[in-house]
């Protein structure tokens, strides 16, 4: 059983993908659609999806006529190239919309936002969604924290401040706590955490205690999920 836990923690994104069978962020495709609407993604818009994964959001963008390209450390989607948020292989001022769903919490935020601003044209839009945490979240195994986008998570105020420092003006911000709870419920329906971890002994009990603490933080709203649309250099 310890081997099963080790395997799950060694590839948390693969494990989560198997469990959810869909986009690996709260709200799924519908949330992506709403975010693209708010970012004015219209036919012909040049969109860069950073951390595109399997390409679900790329497909959504292309269905509305956008010229969409993906960036990912392990590119698997059509028209996706290797790269990461801190060193985008894209020319200055060549992007209308940069999409980053549950990605920026996993990287060096100031560097990533600087890169985003560099590649956008004047008035380009940053469309991001990510986990936010008020206070300290319960300690989790590093791999599990990464899979849940809690590795490097930050508060709403810190995220807004980082955007301003990078030259972005926030146009809109929306809370998606209900979507996060719904995603939590989907995972809980598919995995019997208590039963599985109970078979592992002391190590499993430690992980279960951390999960229970995370559940309490989710219910209290201390861990939530937001989406933000911001304009580069104060453009509109």
Q: Of 33, 63, 101, 136, which is the active-site residue?
A: 101
Which tens digit of pLDDT belongs to each residue from 78-118? 889 999 999 999 999 999 999 999 888 878 999 999 999 99
204 lies in some domain: yes
Q: What is the CATH number of the domain that holds 99?
A: 3.40.50.150
208 lies in some domain: yes
Domain encompassing residue 157: 2-40+91-231
Which tens digit of pLDDT belongs to each residue from 203-224? 777 777 778 888 888 899 999 9
215 lies in some domain: yes
**Is 101 labeled as catalytic in the residue annotation?**
yes
10 Å CB burial of residue 159 (0-12, 13-18, 19+) is buried
Q: Is the pTM of this model over 0.85?
A: no
Ranges assigned E (strand) in the chain: 46-50, 67-72, 80-82, 95-101, 120-133, 168-175, 223-232
Give me the pLDDT at residue 65, please: 98
179 lies in some domain: yes
| Chain mean pLDDT for the chain | 85
| Number of domains into which the chain is organized | 1
Query: Is the pLDDT reported for residue 2 higher than 50?
Result: no
66 lies in some domain: no
14 lies in some domain: yes
83 lies in some domain: no
113 lies in some domain: yes
Give me the pLDDT at residue 47, please: 98
* Percentage with pLDDT > 90 across the chain: 52
Token reading at 51? 């951390």
Give me the pLDDT at residue 14, please: 56
């Amino acid at each position: 059983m310890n081997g099963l836990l080790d395997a799950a923690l060694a590839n948390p994104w693969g494990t989560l993908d198997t469990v959810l069978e869909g986009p690996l962020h709260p709200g799924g495709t519908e949330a992506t659609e709403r975010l693209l609407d708010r970012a004015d993604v219209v036919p012909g818009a040049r969109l860069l999806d950073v951390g595109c994964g399997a390409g679900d959001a790329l497909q959504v963008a292309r269905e509305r006529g956008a010229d969409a390209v993906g960036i990912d450390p392990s590119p698997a989607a059509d028209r996706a190239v290797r790269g990461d948020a801190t060193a985008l292989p894209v020319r200055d001022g060549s992007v209308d919309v940069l999409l980053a769903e549950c990605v920026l919490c996993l990287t060096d935020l100031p560097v990533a936002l600087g890169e985003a601003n560099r590649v956008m044209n004047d008035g380009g839009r940053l469309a991001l969604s990510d986990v936010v945490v008020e206070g300290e979240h319960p300690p989790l195994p590093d791999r599990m924290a990464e899979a849940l986008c809690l590795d490097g998570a930050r508060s709403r105020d810190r995220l807004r401040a980082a955007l301003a420092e990078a030259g972005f003006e926030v146009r809109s911000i929306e809370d998606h706590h209900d979507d996060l709870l719904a995603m939590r419920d989907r995972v809980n329906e598919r995995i019997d955490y208590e039963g599985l971890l109970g078979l592992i002994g002391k190590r499993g009990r430690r992980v279960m205690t951390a999960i229970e603490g995370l559940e309490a933080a989710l219910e209290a709203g201390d861990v939530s999920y937001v989406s933000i649309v911001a304009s580069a250099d104060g453009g509109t």
